[in-house]
Amino acid sequence: MPNENAWSVIAEPASNSLILGVDFPAAGRHEAGFDDLVKGMGTAWSGHGVLQTSPPPVRLADRPSGDFYTDHWMRSGDWEKYEVVAVLGYCVGAVYAGRVAERLAAVQGRMPQVVLFDAQLADLPLLASEMHKMIGQAAAVLSEQEAEEGRKRAVEIVATPSIGMAEAAGQMVELYRELATSGFRRIGLSESRCEEMVLLFESYMTWLSASSRIDPAGAWGGALGLTSADYGELEKAGATTVVNAATAAIGRRIPVETRHIDLLRDASTVRALLANTEF
């Protein structure tokens, strides 16, 4: 198998044929993941092993390049022993998926099919949006005043003149640490567990920040993009993280009538893949 520290197995390979999923999986998230998609595809993908990225432990202070993640996933993989038929990318994972596919093309002499699910390009508004999401998920342990102040400060951070992605991400982590410490102490969560939560959020902010240093346009040119109904609405509303991805020359885009949260588990997604992919 490829590097076990970099990939988790969703479906054991029955042959040397692989499908790779690029995502930032985290316990307890509400959005469906690639494991849900594999279940939905049933026997259609039974001839392939399916692996999913395991993001490396890295801190914002390390200022990793975009290729740091790709290097981690591709290192010591014996990739010449496998045929990767497709690379799937979810949200900002779509950016990294393109890079992984390009690396594999150089090894196996053929570009895997690239499939993007609600592709995003990370920008400052996305950092604020993700901070707002985390505040919403912590509503049970935060006071209304704390939550409102947190949302306000997140907007102020990304509105700071000339602030860069890494600096803004760092300030988001400090804001999260402040809110989490207050909220989690209130319910008796241990200091060590609280720090684990903060480090996970920092890892995610680092993932977003580093992705902004990658231009995925070349790899996305031949990609298939599936877009949920609510991401379609975000695009119409001018949300830059979605609009910028939509205008980045994705080869072919197909709307899927389901919510973003269900995109990787909905039957309409399965039907779209069966009708529009060749693996």
Here the CATH number for the domain that contains residue 239 is 3.40.50.1820
Residues 17 and 106 in one domain: yes
**More confident position, 99 or 61:** 99
Residues 151 and 164 in one domain: yes
23 in any annotated domain? yes
Same-domain pairing of 112 and 233: yes
| Mean pLDDT, range 121-144, rounded to an integer | 94
The mean pLDDT of 201-225, rounded to a whole number, is 95
In this structure, the answer to whether residues 177 and 156 fall within a common structural domain is: yes
- Looking at the structure, do residues 155 and 38 belong to the same domain, yes or no? no
| Rounded Cα gap, residues 251 and 9, in angstroms | 29
| pLDDT over 90 (residue 194) | no
Q: Is 133 in the same domain as 236?
A: no
- Give the model's confidence band at 187: pLDDT under 50 very low, under 70 low, under 90 confident, else very high: confident
Residue 197 has pLDDT above 80, yes or no: yes
* pLDDT at residue 238, rounded to an integer: 93
Mean pLDDT of 74-94: 94
How much is the pLDDT for 178?
94
Q: How many domains does the chain have?
A: 2
Is the pLDDT reported for residue 1 higher than 80? no
Residue type at 116? L
2 occurs within a structural domain: no
- Where does the pLDDT of residue 265 fall: very low under 50, low under 70, confident under 90, or very high at 90 and above? very high
* Mean per-residue pLDDT, 219-240: 95
Residue 136 and residue 193 in one domain: yes
207, 234: one domain:
no
Helix (H) or strand (E) holding 72: helix 66-74
Among residues 14, 24, 7, which one has the least CA distance to residue 200?
24
Across the beta sheet with 113-117, what order do the strands follow? Answer: 7-11, 49-53, 17-22, 83-90, 113-117, 224-228, 252-256
| Residue 111 included in any domain | yes
Q: What is the pTM of this model?
A: 0.95
pLDDT of residue 2: 79
* 18: its two tokens: 């692989």
Among 184, 211, 238, the domain-final residue is 211
> Over the stretch 146-158, which tens digit does the pLDDT of each residue have?
999 999 999 999 9
Q: Is the pLDDT of residue 171 over 90?
A: yes
Q: What is the pLDDT of residues 22-64, one digit of tens each?
A: 999 987 789 999 999 999 999 999 999 999 999 888 899 899 9
CA angle 69, 74, 77 (to 5 degrees): 145
Residue 1 is assigned to a structural domain of this protein:
no
Domain of 205 in residue numbering reads as 124-211
Centre a 10 Å sphere on the Cβ of residue 68 and count the other Cβ atoms it contains: 15
Q: What mean pLDDT comes out for the span 211-215?
A: 95
